[in-house]
Amino acid sequence: MDHDEAVRQKMTEKYLLDELDHAARNEFEEHFFDCSFCALDVRAGAMFIEHSKIVFAEKPSETPVPARRAARRGRFAWLRPAFAAPALALLLAVIAYQNLVTYPQMQQALNHPQVLPWASVNLGTWGSAGPVITTSPGKGFLLFVRIPPGGRYSRYTLDLYDPSKKLTWSLTIPADSAQDQWPIQAPAADRQAGTYTLAVRGTNENGENQELGRASFELQIQK
* Per-residue pLDDT at 159: 95
**Is pTM, for the whole model, over 0.95?**
no
2 has which bridge partners? none
Measured between alpha carbons, how far is 145 from 122 in angstroms, rounded to an integer?
Answer: 6
Query: Where in the sequence of the chain do the CATH 2.60.40.2550 domains occur?
Result: 118-221
Over range 159-170, report the average pLDDT: 93
pLDDT tens, residue by residue, 167-177: 999 988 888 75
Measured between alpha carbons, how far is 53 from 69 in angstroms, rounded to an integer?
Answer: 25
> Are the CB atoms for 166 and 26 separated by under 8 Å?
no
- Check pLDDT > 90 for residue 115: no
- Check pLDDT > 60 for residue 210: yes
Topology adopted by domain 118-221? Immunoglobulin-like (2.60.40)
Q: What residues have CB less than 8 Å from 51, skipping those under 6 apart?
A: 86, 87, 90
pLDDT tens, residue by residue, 76-93: 454 455 545 555 555 656
- DSSP letter (8 states) at residue 137: T
Helix (H, G, I), strand (E, B) or coil at 167: strand
